Structure formats: structure tokens, C-alpha cells
Structure 1
């Protein structure tokens, strides 16, 4: 946009000067994987490269506890495992619908913001076990805010992330 200075995509993610090139390469790989994951969301279909970079920047910013947005009372911020478990469940049982796709000829950022507001309102009116609503809200919140927070009753209805248990070797 003219007259508005923008931070270069990814400039907030650069480690300290003492970090090696391996750290920068690792960050670049993580960024590309994140962007590829975001592009799998139907809502991301109309985003251009800069908008996708901005979404990735927001996620990296929110991942750092020192720069994360505080969670309001009554809301629960989802951690990575909860988001992964929700997507695993969704990939098995749910498909996207036409309302998940941005309409042609509409500014995708305006549409995403309107979609986020509509989903926020729907979570206030809907039953907590509405899986399609929860998954759509997770996708849109990640794209628009960089994090996901849901009302507590919704979190209680989400699939539980699998636990990994180490097994000790058999006794001989």
C-alpha cells in the first residue's frame, strides 16, 4: 500500500547475529513448510505470496511467549498438539464446503476478516460439538491472527491429542 512502510516478510524471525547459517536455513525450511500447510486451507486459496508471508509471520510471532497476544478470560489458547489432533480428526471425517472458499473477485483479506467475525459469532450461538465450525475457525484464526483460541466448552469437546509413552526394554 502506498505510504505505509511494511516490515519485510520474515525479518522478525531472524535469530541473533551469533546464530549460525544452519539456524537461518532451518528457519527458512520451517517457514516454507508452514506456508505449504497454510496453502492446504481452502480459505488460503486467494492469498498472494505477500499475504501468505504475513500469515506465517503472525504465526511465528504468536509462537513466541514473549510476543504472544494475551488470551481473554473464558477462552483457551490451543497448543500445537491440539491443533494437529483437530486437523487429523478433520482429515478423516470432514470435507470443506463452498463457504470455506473465498468467492471470486472479492478481496481475500476482507473476506477472511468477515469470515473470522462470522465464525466468532457462530461459536457464541452454536453447540460446542460442531466439528465443522471448530475446524473452520482454527483455519481462519491461524491465517488472520496467527493463533487459535476457543471458548472453554469447545476445547472440552475437541479430540484429545495422542500421548506418546516410552516403553522400557524388556527385562532379561
Structure 2
């Protein structure tokens, strides 16, 4: 897990640096509104956040021993059978069933596809709140009130940031 997080952190950081450099190459002072209306502002902001996430993964892989001990303990507690392939170690879902990594990936892809199909058919904030709510409910457990609160707040913050701060039209 630590090696995977290190590799993922390096890959995420590299992508973030690439997009950050590309954002800095965009025109910054051509607009009469100055830097706040520069086309590279949003990509630079997002790539900076992505770079922070990548660095967090790398740092946690280096010094976060307790995190990985908890992950190993959780994986061994939810494991229903011995399996030589650690990538297919089952982990519990909200229903208490053990899901392998492949099943979790397929479930994530399915939920994301459903979200994409909802976009444009219902308002963005509603589709996003539903997606986050279902995702948390499926993978984290049965605390539906907490999932609802997180999903509504997250959806509202994302909508507000893009629609009102960055003036990006959302579907």
C-alpha cells in the first residue's frame, strides 16, 4: 500500500506540475479585469490543489506508519478468506458484504457513469449531491444523515465556487 501511495503521489504530482506549467503559459494580463479574469487562474488553482494532494500521498507514505497499520488491521478484520493476491483482499461495504478491489473499482465506475448520465438532465447541484450521497452511503456505511449533510454541503460549495467565483457555467 505504501509503494502504491508513493507511486500514485508521484504520478499525481507530475500531472499537477504539467497542468500548472501549462496554466502559467496562458495569458495573464490581456483582460481589462486583470489577473482575476485570467484564463489560467482556475487551472492553476486546481493544479495547485492536485499538487498538494500528490505531496500529501508521498509524505503519508513516508511517515504515516499508523495509517497503514490501521489499513492492514481493517483489511485483515474484513477478510473472509485467505488470498495470496493483496489487490483482491475483500473490504466491507455498507451492507457488510466483502468487496474485492475489482468490485470496488467497477462500482465506482458505475456510479460515476450514472452521475455523468444525470448531468444535464437534472440540475448540477442536485446530481452532485446525489452522487456524493450514494458514494458515501455505499462505501462508508449506514450513517445516512452524515452522508446527506456532507453531500449537500459539498455540492453547494462546489457549485458556488465554480458558478459564482470562477464564473464557470455548470450543466
For Structure 1 versus Structure 2, the TM-score category normalised by the shorter chain is under 0.3
- Which structure features the higher share of helix residues? 2
Q: Relative contact order, CA 8 A, sep 6+: which one is greater?
A: 1
Using structure 2 for the length normalisation, give the TM-score.
0.27
User: With structure 1 as the length reference, what TM-score do the two structures score?
Assistant: 0.27
